Amino acid sequence: MIYNVHHLHCGTMCPVCAPLYGQKGFYGKMVCHCLLIETDKGLVLVDTGFGMQDYLHPQARLGKLFSKVSAIQSDFNLTAISQIQKLGFKPSDVKHILVSHLDLDHAGGISDFPQATIHILSSEYNAAQKISVMNKLRYRPQQFKHHRYWNFLEPRNGEAWFNFHKVQGFNIFNDEILLIPLLGHTAGHCGIAIKQQTGWLFFCGDAYYSHLELDRKNKLPLLDKLEFAFAENNSLRLKTLSEIQNLAQTEPQIDIICAHDPTDLERYIQNA
């Protein structure tokens, strides 16, 4: 049973060239939007943003290039562990972590919750073990390689969920929290669907970067090039984005959000 959903601000990046991110101005703003779900199975963290060790040792943990280009704002308050404690919980109350994918700006906080079980597609974990130029930029194994508790799920299609399919074998939350494969950005990228009283909240991770992309009428060529550059499989990325856009058009009761759009995050924080 789900009791409450909190929206957490777990990192801010201010890279140059805002139009690359579908924004105006010189400096862009990208946030790490995570979720904390209160359930009868304990706290569930959806993505982790940057963790304590990322802020303490940014170049060692994140790499010199990423640290410089992304212009991360150093603020220990912008960690999941800090915000969870401010809400009155203990880090050990986090029993489950659902990771959309293991990119360094999504997995950094894993090491702050050593007792939690991470639920992830096996294809994503396996991809993070492969050595390539892109993988060296996107994955930082020191963020998660010492974690003990994993639940690897096979990316097979289960029952239909609107125009998507849920992951088979993920039954912990009685179909109130679902893992939905959203492939393309990485080999095992996953969205997380959370049932609410009036519909669903659909967290899409990095399947897209800006709320403007949910409307096909909005043309964002620079952002498209950026997403192409980061995609493990661009054809699958475009297919996934098209299916998300179809969902946005046909199912208004589903609140669709992504991980890095400050507009998405602000409307929840302001209403909190």
Instruction: Give percent of the chain with pLDDT exceeding 70.
Output: 99
Question: Which amino acid would we find at residue 101?
Answer: H
CATH number at residue 266: 3.60.15.10
Domain limits for position 171? 2-271
pLDDT of the residue at 64: 85
CA-wise closest residue to 245 among 164, 154, 141, 184: 164
**Which of 112-116, 156-160, 187-191, 232-236 comes out lowest in average pLDDT?**
156-160
Using the 8-state DSSP alphabet, how is residue 253 labeled? Answer: T
Question: Taking 70 as the threshold, does the pLDDT of residue 189 lie above it?
Answer: yes
Question: Taking 70 as the threshold, does the pLDDT of residue 224 lie above it?
Answer: yes
Query: Are 75 and 55 in contact, with CB atoms under 8 Å apart?
Result: yes
Kind and range of the H or E run holding 254: strand 254-257
| The model's pTM | 0.96
User: Between residues 16 and 116, which one has the greater pLDDT?
Assistant: 116
Q: State mean pLDDT over 32-46.
A: 98
Q: State mean pLDDT over 33-43.
A: 98
Query: Are 246 and 45 in contact, with CB atoms under 8 Å apart?
Result: no
Q: State mean pLDDT over 192-217.
A: 96
Average model confidence (pLDDT) across the chain: 94
Kind and range of the H or E run holding 97: strand 94-98
Cα–Cα–Cα angle for 131, 206, 157, rounded to 5 degrees: 85
190 phi-psi bin (left φ>0, alpha ψ -120 to 50, beta other): beta
Query: Are 10 and 47 in contact, with CB atoms under 8 Å apart?
Result: yes
How many domains does the structure of the chain reveal?
A: 1
Q: State mean pLDDT over 107-126.
A: 97
Q: State mean pLDDT over 178-188.
A: 97
pLDDT of the residue at 270: 66
Q: How far apart are the first and last CA of the chain?
A: 21
- C-alpha distances in Å from residue 195, one per residue of 2, 106, 237: 8, 22, 25
Question: Taking 90 as the threshold, does the pLDDT of residue 25 lie above it?
Answer: no
Instruction: Give percent of the chain with pLDDT exceeding 90.
Output: 82
pLDDT of the residue at 54: 96
Q: What is the pLDDT of residues 235-254, one digit of tens each?
A: 999 999 999 999 999 999 99
Q: How far apart are CA 81 and CA 91, in angstroms?
A: 6
**Which of 120-124, 156-160, 184-188 comes out lowest in average pLDDT?**
156-160
What are the residues facing 195 on neighbouring strands? 200
pLDDT of the residue at 201: 98
Q: What is the pLDDT of residues 63-86, one digit of tens each?
A: 888 888 888 998 999 999 999 999
Cβ contacts of 130 within 8 Å, gap of 6 or more: none
Query: Are 35 and 96 in contact, with CB atoms under 8 Å apart?
Result: no
Question: Taking 80 as the threshold, does the pLDDT of residue 226 lie above it?
Answer: yes
